[in-house]
Structure 1
Amino acid sequence: MPANKAQMGEISIKINIADRIYPLRIATEEEEVIRRAAKLINDRMKEFQDNYAVRDKQDLLSMCVLHYATATLKADDSSKQEDKEVAKKVHQLDELLSGFFS
């Protein structure tokens, strides 16, 4: 009989984002990254609040989502460009080696 998720290294934690508590069940190995993510969100909200005099938490959360979504898209685009460059170099190397061994 398969073990349930709680027996497979899951834990219950509470995360505070924008002064609201969110209970989560997560894999044990995800705890640190989730806590760091919540801290980043709260820190970014404070930065936006201080720099733009925005007080509404919904607006601050929306600004955070936009910030992190933009950063993610930029990282994805950069990664795809790097993948293309690597593929191009591998192709060039393959052609060079094919010519050498022909």
Structure 2
Amino acid sequence: MNDKLKIKLSIADRVYPLSIKPEQEEGLRKAAKSIEGVIKQFEQSYAVRDKQDVLAMCALQFAAKLEQQSINSDKEIEWSKEKLVELENKIDLHLSERS
């Protein structure tokens, strides 16, 4: 039994046939649509005609966004750790005062 779904995605005027798990379809279609939107934006804003350049800039934009999210997440985790340490110190102080 083959549980793969065959779809075709169009990116930068090319069609890419894929065999995917059904649960991946929505995410892949949204990603392709997002890529197409960024490509259109670059082509209009910078009058770039070479698809290779547009795709490289598109990839850079998506990668930069992921990296920034990772940096922000790391900062949030560090902030949370600091707050937990502060809370633990307050609890320890309170418990030691009761003894």
Unaligned runs of 5+ in 2: none
Q: CA RMSD in A?
A: 1.3
CA deviation map 1:5-50 (0-9, x unaligned): x34xx32211111111111122212211110100010110011001
Partner of 1:52: 46
1:69 shift after superposition: 0.8
- TM-score, scaled to structure 2: 0.89
21-30 vs 39-48, which moves further: 21-30
Tell me how many residue pairs correspond in the alignment.
Answer: 96
- With normalisation by structure 1, the TM-score equals 0.87
Secondary structure of the structure 2 residue equivalent to 1:75: helix
Whether 1:99 aligns to 2:70 is: no
Structure 2 residue 8 is the aligned partner of structure 1 residue 14: yes
Amino acid at match of 1:89: K
The structure having more radius of gyration, on CA atoms, is 2
Distance 1:88 1:13 in 2: 47
User: Gaps spanning 5+ residues in structure 1: where?
Assistant: none
Deviations 1:35-78 (A, max 9, x none): 01000101100110011000111111001011111111111101
Q: Aligned partners of 2:17, 2:89: CA distance in 1, in Å?
A: 55
